[in-house]
Structure 1
């Protein structure tokens, strides 16, 4: 346990696909003073995301889908994102390989973890394990599109990496994990194969 933090009380506010908690805690700040705070925390578990890259053609696989939370905050168009999914008790590598087949329709190769990020650490416990992988047209196993019984209606996109970078600059790609993965891919390979 971290000696700087002491949990005083935890109250469950809501349970569903995730749990919302109100946590009251003591925190010893950098100046040595102890601060008592209360925060609402949303816990839906951890996730994994992948950006597949075809080094021969310089393309990446992305998804486009409607996201209600983003829409409620003014995002009128469906979001363009890296393939991702909640772990739900499965290790990150196994989960993202399964998600890639369901959402993208590809069996990925050379899966490599590149970083972990907290998506919104002020309120969410979610940590996303991010991967790069390679693929080619020979790795296509289905049309993708996600699981309709889970309410997924996903369009698969295959832009050039350079085109995807332009979509960040023009404000079309606004999803944080996707921006980070595209920047990592651009820095790492440009047009070099995985």
Structure 2
């Protein structure tokens, strides 16, 4: 009698077949089936890390400019999309920014990791406008009124999928209705700083402001006459 050979049990993979620690499934499906660019054919997507965010290795065929097809691999880090805002007081010539510790900057030669930035955050499940109003309230304690969307940008398109939505909005001291400082339960410890717009521009020149999104917003404000520079 031939002995029965049972098939090996199927291993269910968290984040792919069953929910991971954040309740996500199908993390290996991102990019499969994309057909907007006929010169790119996705062949395989491998999830290499799914901690708080997701790192994927994607294999795809790419048609070069000379017509040859080649197979490439790229790693991409998916942390979701985000939004950022520059709050300005045109009458007083000030802007409202934050200062907080950023370990990735600290480990990459920043003197102390304390970065001066425009308020920002991930969208999570919100639309960009709702998300940035939430972040302005949490980080700066400001109840934002009229918002102006100025542009979107991919911040590091060679390796990070994030698209950031950029906003500006006026504020007055009366609009600061809360303490700000971020959400302590999420590990945030954020200082709110109000500085002259001219000083903020000078801080870009001398290297005290090195955060990309903040530089982009401040330069946009300067180019568009949002605040007066003495």
For the aligned pair, the TM-score class normalised by the smaller chain equals over 0.9
Secondary structure of the residue aligned to 1:159 is: strand
Q: Tell me, which stretches of 5 or more residues in structure 1 are unaligned?
A: none
Aligned twin of 2:21: none
Normalising by structure 2, report the TM-score.
Answer: 0.81
Secondary structure of the residue aligned to 1:88 is: coil
Q: Shift of the alpha carbon at 1:176?
A: 0.7
Deviations 1:134-154 (A, max 9, x none): 100111111210011101000
Q: Shift of the alpha carbon at 1:119?
A: 1.2
Q: Shift of the alpha carbon at 1:190?
A: 4.7
Correspondence list, 1:41-190, <5 A: 41-77=76-112, 78-190=114-226
**Which has the larger Rg?**
2
Whether the 8 Å contact between 1:27 and 1:34 is mirrored in structure 2 is yes
Runs of 4+ in 1 over 6 A off after TM superposition: none
Mapped partners of 2:219, 2:64: distance in 1: 34
Q: Tell me, which stretches of 5 or more residues in structure 2 are unaligned?
A: 1-34
Deviations 1:11-43 (A, max 9, x none): 000112111101011112233222321111110
Q: Which has the higher strand share?
A: 1
Q: Shift of the alpha carbon at 1:174?
A: 0.7
Deviations 1:83-125 (A, max 9, x none): 0000011100000001001000111122111011111111100
Mapped partners of 1:97, 1:25: distance in 2: 38
Answer yes or no: is 1:19 the counterpart of 2:54.
Answer: yes
Normalising by structure 1, report the TM-score.
Answer: 0.96
Give the root-mean-square deviation of aligned CA atoms. 1.1
Equivalent residue in structure 2 for 1:34, among 55, 65, 69: 69
Whether the 8 Å contact between 1:51 and 1:62 is mirrored in structure 2 is yes
Mapped partners of 1:135, 1:190: distance in 2: 12
Most deviating of 102-111 and 121-130: 102-111
* Equivalenced residues, count: 192
Mapped partners of 1:189, 1:140: distance in 2: 24
Higher normalized contact order (CA 8 Å, seq sep 6+, divided by chain length): 1
Most deviating of 22-31 and 92-101: 22-31
